């Protein structure tokens, strides 16, 4: 399975090379599996060093070693930890500059397989100098500026080199600037330093400068920075690379929110065991959070409308079972039961939408402790929509199952191939020894088949092989029975839990099925007869502890005896 997956990913990587898209796949332990040529072109620091099984942290170590300035190197371990976390949790694309290129990276999970990252170059180079306010790049549409001035949040517009070309009044007020001329041609880091002028050694300034440098490398991810006077701003970038390369930074004053958050943290510090409940609700706030007491929903976050289409008031007072697909209810109940011995429980199930359809979700549940005597424990469940991921996993599983089926099937006859037979023989032989039941093997060879090819041609010979394979499948009707093409004109029947007496009866059935074949359908003259010789072996007639290969060896010897004694017969090895 792993080899087929790697081959499939390598094929995808080669295809992406043709459109200059880099790919690198990692397993569930964040170890490298497959990468393509475009990956090494965009990240030449990995050429000759990246290897299968290499931890992603080592990949990041080379990446940061090639781009950090000396003053930043002491923080490399922190950058690596943050990079690994970003790799594991990324849900949306972002951009960054690397070796004079601007790249956009996207990442997606492959269920139990791991995660794939892809990169696309969106610019050939990144300018290092400001083009000047009189240049075309620095000009800004007056109509656009009038519209953006009406926005209450700060707006900063930069060119493809991250040099400021315009800012609205709200932005200037946030950062203590009087006119837009004061910021034109500056990068945002310099604007931020000027806002802290005279207070650069403040801990908040130093920490936020590090945050700023790190997040500016990965455009699109929101981040927060502090300003003098215990003020805070959340920054979100939208890069307009498809038009003119400009970046639009939205700066939202979140000072009030941060103070409220601090007040909430202070309150939580005084709230003893109830702190756990607040923490759970806060950390799961991005998804649907459900709280239940005695199996009844007492709280559900507003995100339930976006994820499942339900209004919160329509959910409160109902049980979780009423939203669970009937086929998944037992599995969910078993997962929740595990909370008696484990701190958390994870499960997947289909959840009922308000429109009557079901959608796949992923859930994590935890039981909180009562904060007061007599209060009931609360079950808190975080729910996330994984419909798109599940569809991708199912599609990949279908492709892999199809590839596995192809790899185990003989292309000419449609029965199992020798590889599949040897796997089944090893499995069934172990089971036969463990459960003390007999295992039978029939080795079947077409008599004088070479003369069929020589006289009527290989096309007719192929038709004969297909017909005989079809006849053999009529003999094996039980689950676990295997019919396989062993090689050339030889077939093998593996019959678990079949005694020596039943083995001989099975051989007779094979003869009857072959004799019943229509010569004309196979392209042979009506008078032609197709016969087979059969060698039979059975573990019940072998010394205890015999190997699986002994079963094949004895059947082959018996087949040789059948050929020697005149063909068209079955000979047992005992």
Enzyme catalytic residues: 489
Backbone φ and ψ of 92, nearest 5°:
-140, 150
3-state helix, strand, coil in the chain (%, to 5): 45, 25, 30
With beta carbons less than 8 A apart as the criterion, state whether 442 and 492 touch: yes
Cα–Cα distance measured from residue 68 to residue 228, given in angstroms and rounded to the nearest whole number: 28
Backbone φ and ψ of 422, nearest 5°:
-65, -35
H/E stretch holding 289 reads strand 288-293
Using alpha carbons, list the distances in angstroms from residue 363 to 168, 229, 300. 43, 41, 14
DSSP 55: B
Cα–Cα distance measured from residue 45 to residue 98, given in angstroms and rounded to the nearest whole number: 11
Three-class secondary structure of residue 217 per DSSP: coil
Residues 6 or more apart whose CB falls under 8 angstroms from that of 145 comprise: 166, 168
H/E stretch holding 108 reads strand 101-109
With beta carbons less than 8 A apart as the criterion, state whether 79 and 60 touch: yes
3-state SS of 290-344? EEEECCEEEEECCHHHHHHCCCHHHHCCCEHHHHECCCCHHHHHHHHHHHHCCCE
With beta carbons less than 8 A apart as the criterion, state whether 153 and 252 touch: yes
Cα–Cα distance measured from residue 507 to residue 264, given in angstroms and rounded to the nearest whole number: 80
DSSP 274: H
């Amino acid at each position: 399975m792993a080899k087929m997956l790697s081959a499939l990913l390598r094929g995808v990587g080669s295809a992406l090379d043709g459109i200059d898209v880099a790919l690198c796949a990692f397993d569930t332990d964040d170890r490298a599996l497959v990468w393509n040529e475009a990956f090494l072109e965009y990240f030449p620091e990995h050429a000759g060093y990246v290897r299968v099984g290499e931890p992603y942290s080592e990949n990041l170590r080379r990446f940061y070693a090639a781009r950090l300035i000396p003053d930043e190197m002491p923080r490399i371990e922190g950058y690596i930890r943050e990079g690994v976390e970003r790799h594991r949790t990324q849900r949306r694309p972002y951009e960054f500059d690397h070796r004079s290129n601007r790249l956009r990276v996207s990442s997606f999970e492959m269920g139990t397989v791991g995660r794939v990252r892809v990169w696309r170059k969106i610019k050939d180079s990144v300018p290092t100098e400001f083009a000047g306010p009189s240049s075309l790049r620095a000009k800004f549409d007056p109509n656009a500026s009038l519209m953006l001035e009406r926005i209450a949040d700060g707006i900063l517009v930069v060119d493809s080199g991250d040099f400021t070309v315009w800012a609205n009044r709200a932005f200037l007020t946030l950062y203590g600037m009087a006119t837009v001329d004061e910021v034109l041609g500056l990068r945002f880091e310099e604007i931020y330093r000027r806002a802290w002028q005279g207070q650069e050694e403040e801990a908040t300034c130093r920490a936020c400068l590090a945050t700023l440098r790190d997040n500016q490398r990965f455009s699109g991810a929101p981040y927060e920075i502090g300003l003098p006077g215990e003020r805070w701003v959340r920054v979100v970038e939208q890069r307009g690379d498809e038009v003119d390369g400009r970046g639009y930074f939205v700066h939202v004053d979140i000072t009030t929110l941060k103070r409220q958050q601090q007040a909430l943290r202070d309150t939580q510090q005084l709230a003893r065991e109830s702190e756990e409940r607040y923490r759970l609700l806060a950390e799961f706030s991005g998804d649907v959070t459900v709280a239940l007491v005695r199996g009844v929903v007492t709280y559900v976050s507003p995100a339930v409308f976006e994820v499942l289409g339900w209004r919160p008031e329509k959910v409160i007072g109902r049980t979780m079972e009423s939203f669970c697909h009937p086929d998944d209810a037992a599995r969910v109940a078993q997962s929740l039961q595990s909370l008696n011995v484990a701190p958390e429980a994870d499960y997947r199930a289909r959840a009922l939408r308000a429109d009557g359809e079901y959608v796949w979700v992923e859930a994590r549940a935890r039981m909180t402790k009562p904060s007061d005597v007599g209060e009931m424990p609360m079950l808190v469940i975080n729910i996330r929509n994984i419909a798109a991921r599940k569809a991708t996993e199912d599609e990949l599983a279908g492709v892999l199952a199809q590839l596995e089926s192809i790899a185990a099937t003989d292309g000419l006859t449609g029965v199992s191939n020798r590889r599949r037979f040897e796997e089944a023989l090893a499995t069934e032989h172990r089971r036969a020894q463990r459960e003390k039941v007999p295992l039978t093997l029939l080795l079947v060879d077409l008599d004088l088949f070479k003369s069929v090819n020589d006289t009527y041609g290989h096309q007719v010979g192929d038709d004969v092989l297909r017909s005989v394979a079809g006849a053999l499948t009529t003999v094996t009707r039980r689950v676990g029975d295997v019919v396989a093409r062993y090689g050339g004109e030889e077939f093998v029947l593996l019959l678990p839990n079949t005694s020596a007496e039943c083995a001989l009866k099975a051989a007779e059935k094979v003869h009857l099925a072959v004799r019943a074949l229509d010569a004309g359908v196979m392209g042979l003259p009506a008078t032609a007869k197709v016969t087979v010789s059969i060698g039979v072996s059975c573990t019940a007639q072998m010394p205890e502890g015999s190997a699986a290969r002994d079963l094949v060896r004895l059947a082959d010897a018996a087949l040789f005896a059948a050929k020697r004694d005149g063909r068209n017969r079955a000979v047992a090895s005992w």
